Amino acid sequence: MQLTDYPEWQALVDHTQVATDNLVTLFENDSNRAQDMNLQAAGLFVDYSKNRITAETLTLLQDLARARNIEAATTAMFAGEKINTTENRAVLHTALRYQGSEPIVVDEQDVLPEVRDVLRRMGEFSDNIRSGSWTGYTGKPIKNIINIGIGGSDLGPVMAYEALKHYSDRSISVKFVSNIDGTHFTEAVRELDAAETLFIVASKTFTTDETMTNASSARAWLLAALRDESAVAKHFVAVSTNNEKVSEFGIDTANMFGFWDWVGGRYSLCSAIGLSVMVAIGRDNFQAMLEGFYAMDEHFRTAPIEENLPVTLALISLWNLNFLGAQSEAILPYDQYLNRFAAYFQQGNMESNGKSVTKAGEPVSYQTGPVIWGEPGTNGQHAFYQLLHQGTLLVPCDFIGFAKPLNELGQHHSKLTANLLAQTKALAFGKTADTVRSEGVAEDLVAHKTFVGNHPSNTIIAKQLTPQTLGALTALYEHKIFVQGVIWDINSFDQWGVELGKVLATDIFKELTNPGTTQQDQSTNLLLSKLRELK
Ligand code: F6P
């Protein structure tokens, strides 16, 4: 049965037609609304009262979640069942941060001993780099780490490195090279001494063209400076699931940190893919981040639907997307350290839930994953918030803020927080034409200065941005994606949609480097000839 045929879905359609109250009225009619519409878990407090929902909306959404067997699906994921059906793989990123002692079995084997062994090796490696006992080919300690990876092998480490920079060892610079554009690599190494630089080549498959091309250029750059093949062993380590390809590239598998096919790329931050982060912040802080992830995992796995934070945020988001017509969601962290958080979940969410067929391969008749975007506050306020407040699109927003700053500086933090709260308030309650008029605004400007309000948002608050908090926050968004995927009956863990472009790029590359060897369409041919002419 298609999702839209479920009576629980139909009940929500009917409810949409009656639920026309706007946020001003919803708050006026219920003085306990804020008190009733919040949840806390794993150190995060979430106020979801500024959404166009009532208690009944939530109940109907929870009924839908139950009808789609969300609890059984969650149990199946945590138990290592092969829920990634198109690739016949388990989905077990939760095993990477599991702090308990029960075995987690995939293909009749407990995965935890290997998970913990890799973590131990990562710890030793990062201790050695940080203490200077790992030296480069000329005997100098490593001062620069460059992670070469893309997608999940880049965005997670970048996001977490930026988020936890406060906790990092500033005597080591950590950079990330992802783009196949040679500028990215060239600029990253511009002022670096090869003798003090170590590359972490991070790729689950070790076949991704961007990463392999950048890694080859890194090898050439290193050898141009150090002039001895044996230097590669001291300046390259690999993070991958593919031993064979790592060896082929020339990296000793003794310097390889493995992970497993049951870790999806965009869910791999807690695996060895996080190695650059561990080097930057040290093994204890990395462990604290894993504990934060685990705390949210446990909440998600055990809390009833009504008190479950990832489920609640998933359901409210689904209401906005499927019933109120929103097509995108903004993630707006009021913390500069979270400047890559939205970009990380752009991949996390859009590669997971940007699907248009069900698990059985049937076309869906409803909207699935939204466009995810965002920038840290207050920068966004001077860029795109105009559209949020007065544009024609409905854009639900998540605001993220902290009670205590990591960098106490005059009144900056109080001003930052005041802005966060002011934006959620302005979006929800707006400003009526009458209020504008009462301020003496000329009649021809009243419409321009009116804010209709009624824009939904969640506000997520924690004490301080710590490794634990980041872990909990990240797991919250991961599980939200999972819940929505289950309800939409799509496979959130494959990404076939990225394949066609890769194949076509290979063919067009041939044409660019060897004209006349391939057949292209008219438009591509015209563009190719124009590019040749301009070169
Ligand atoms: O974009 C497609 C993708 O497969 C992502 O899912 C993945 O995170 C990225 O490429 C990088 O893949 P790999 O780690 O295998 O290099």
Strands 371-373 and 397-402: unpaired
Catalytic residue numbers read: 351, 382, 502
In angstroms, the CA 17 to CA 458 distance is 23
SS3 state of residue 267 = helix
Residue ID of nearest Cα to ligand 1 atom 9: 151
Cis peptide before 135 (omega within 30 of 0): no
Return the closest-CA partner of residue 433 out of 421, 422, 445, 425: 445
3-state secondary structure of 402: strand
The secondary structure element, H or E, covering residue 328 is strand 328-333
Q: Which of 495, 496, 500 to mutate to test the pocket of ligand 1 (most atoms within 8 A of CB)?
A: 495
What pLDDT is stored for residue 18 in this prediction? 73
What single string gives the DSSP state of each residue in 47-59?
A: E-TTSS--HHHHH
Which residues, listed in sequence order, are joined to residue 239 by a DSSP beta bridge?
202, 257
Contact present, 175 and 146 (Cβ < 8 Å): yes
How far is the centre of ligand 1, averaged over its atoms, from the C-alpha of 206 (Å)?
A: 9
**Residue found under tokens 């950590």:** 174
3-state class (DSSP) for residue 31: coil
- Tell me the CA–centroid distance for residue 106 and ligand 1, in Å: 22
- Helix 283-302 vs helix 70-78: crossing angle, to nearest 10: 150
Query: What one-letter code names the amino acid at 198?
Result: L
Task: Calculate how far, in angstroms, residue 288's C-alpha sits from the geometric centre of ligand 1.
Answer: 26
Atom of ligand 1 nearest to the CA of 150: 11
Ligand 1 binding residues, C-beta < 6 A: 150-153, 203-205, 208, 211, 265-266, 351, 495, 498
Residue written as tokens 């599991």? 98
The protein residue whose alpha carbon is closest to atom 3 in ligand 1 is: 151
Mutate to test the pocket of ligand 1, among 87, 204, 242, 260 (most ligand atoms within 8 A of CB): 204
Cα 483 to chain centroid, rounded: 15
| Rounded distance between C-alpha atoms, residue 146 and residue 215, angstroms | 10
For residue 315, give the nearest of 81, 55, 44 by alpha carbon.
55
CB-CB contact of 44 with 460 (8 Å)? yes
Residue 33: CB atoms within 10 A of its CB come to 17
CB atoms within 10 A of CB 499: 9
The whole-number pLDDT of residue 528 equals 97
Cα(53)–Cα(57) distance, integer angstroms: 5
Name the region of 250 (left: φ>0; alpha: ψ -120 to 50; beta: rest).
left
With H, G, I as helix, E, B as strand and everything else as coil, classify residue 147: strand
List all residues 6 or more positions away from 181 whose beta carbon is below 8 Å from its beta carbon. none
| CA of residue 113 to ligand 1 center, whole Å | 26
Point out the ligand 1 atom lying closest to the alpha carbon of residue 266: 8
What's the 269 CA to ligand 1 centre distance in angstroms? 13
DSSP H helices in 273-411: 275-281, 283-302, 309-318, 341-353, 385-390
Amino acid at site 111: V
* Nearest Cα residue to atom 5 of ligand 1: 151
Phi and psi at 104, nearest 5°, equal -120, 115
- pLDDT tens digits, the chain, 535 residues: what are they? 899 999 999 999 999 987 777 999 999 999 999 999 999 999 999 999 999 999 999 999 999 999 999 999 999 999 999 999 999 999 999 999 999 999 999 999 999 999 999 999 999 999 999 999 999 999 999 999 999 999 999 999 999 999 999 999 999 999 999 999 999 999 999 999 999 999 999 999 999 999 999 999 999 999 999 999 999 999 999 999 999 999 999 998 999 999 999 999 999 999 999 999 999 999 999 999 999 999 999 999 999 999 999 999 999 999 999 999 999 999 999 999 999 999 999 999 999 999 999 999 999 999 999 999 999 999 999 999 999 999 999 999 999 999 999 999 999 999 999 999 999 999 999 999 999 999 999 999 999 999 999 999 999 999 999 999 999 999 999 999 999 999 999 999 999 999 999 999 999 999 999 999 999 999 999 999 999 999 9
Query: What is the whole-number distance in angstroms between the Cα of residue 212 and the centre of ligand 1?
Result: 12
Please identify, by atom number, the ligand 1 atom nearest to the C-alpha of residue 210.
16
What is the distance between the alpha carbons of residues 205 and 491, in angstroms, rounded to a whole number?
20
- Residue 17: predicted pLDDT: 81
Residue 20's pLDDT is 73
Which of 180, 200, 205, 263 has most ligand 1 atoms within 8 Å of its beta carbon, as the pocket-test mutant?
205
- Between the CA of residue 291 and those of 287, 294, 400, 475, what are the distances in Å? 6, 5, 20, 11
Helix (H) or strand (E) segment spanning residue 437: helix 433-438
208 CB-near residues (< 8 Å, 6+ apart): 150, 151, 153
